[in-house]
Structure 1
Amino acid sequence: MESEILRQIGTISRSLDSISNVEFAQFDLAKGQYLYLSRIKENPGIIQHRLSELLCVDKSTANRAINKLEEKGLITKKDDLVNKKEKHLFITQKGEEIYPVIIRENEYSTKVATENISPEKMKVFVEVINKMADNISQNWLDVKKGIKRNY
């Protein structure tokens, strides 16, 4: 049973990502770019390094997605006042117009995914999945630093 947990989470993640890529194609958003747009909206002024950690992607992947969003006029970069190498990311008016659709899709998908699950079970599930995400995120950071996992 335990070995199925990550497989099922992966299935859910890939399914929702595929659905979102199809549904957000009308906004010229593809390959998970909606995730970047959402996190930038939710964290105005976030720097690229922190965004890549938040999404658990490497810097080059984040850079490509951020550059595409900027080219599409959905986000803007602003220089840091102290460290000129760092850019703060902000959503543009055009991005603001798309964001509510992303949120509605997320709410709908959540409703579909949690249908027929009691509030009590959802409370426990949210606690467990949050702990799992923390565990894996930390493990991802360690691996990115070159720490070898022993399994």
Structure 2
Amino acid sequence: MREILREIGMIARALDSISNMEFKEIDLTKGQYLYLVRIYENPGIIQDKLAEMIKVDRTTAARAIQKLEMQGFIEKKDDETNKKIKRLFTTEKGKQAYPFLKREGDHSNSVALAGFSEEETEILFHLLQRVRKNVEVDWEFVKKGNKREY
């Protein structure tokens, strides 16, 4: 069997490394851009949903969110009906950073997909969605404290 997940991992690490280097100029490090983009695109999202969307544990998300808040990229606001819930929003600084992050993401997509036809790109997208959905089943299982059997 081909080592497909190794290839996906190498691609993800290379792109993450590039992003971390390029985003230093706007004071974003170690994957913080992932959180900022998702908060911008989903204003009012709660921390647990954000962690689930990015596929990280709550502690990792909490640290990244806290740092983004301290740096002035995002802010937490009380939910209108349940004061225990904090909703996440980008600040003006976060909104100004988004176009740069979006351009980088678009550029990385075009570089990664260079030479692919529209049809190949669509097929790859759907195949990767299927892979993600398969992995999410195990991710949810392990996240709840279970152990996989191999």
Task: Calculate the TM-score normalised by the size of structure 2.
Answer: 0.96
Partner of 1:126: 125
Q: Distance in 2 between matches of 1:35 and 1:41?
A: 10
Q: Distance in 2 between matches of 1:89 and 1:138?
A: 27
Query: 1:53-84, CA deviations, whole angstroms, 9 ceiling, x for partnerless residues?
Result: 00110111100000110011110001123333
Query: 1:67-104, CA deviations, whole angstroms, 9 ceiling, x for partnerless residues?
Result: 11001111000112333332100011110100000000
- Alignment partner of 1:29: what SS? coil
Please give the root-mean-square deviation of Cα atoms over the aligned residues, in Å.
1.1
Partner of 1:11: 10
- Alignment partner of 2:123: what SS? helix
1:87 aligns with 2:93: no
Gaps (5+ residues) in structure 1? none
Q: Distance in 1 between matches of 2:129 and 2:99?
A: 24
Partner of 1:75: 74
Offset of residue 119 of structure 1: 1.6
Q: Distance in 1 between matches of 2:22 and 2:140?
A: 31
* Equivalent residue pairs, number: 150
1:29 aligns with 2:28: yes
Q: Distance in 1 between matches of 2:82 and 2:134?
A: 31
Gaps (5+ residues) in structure 2? none
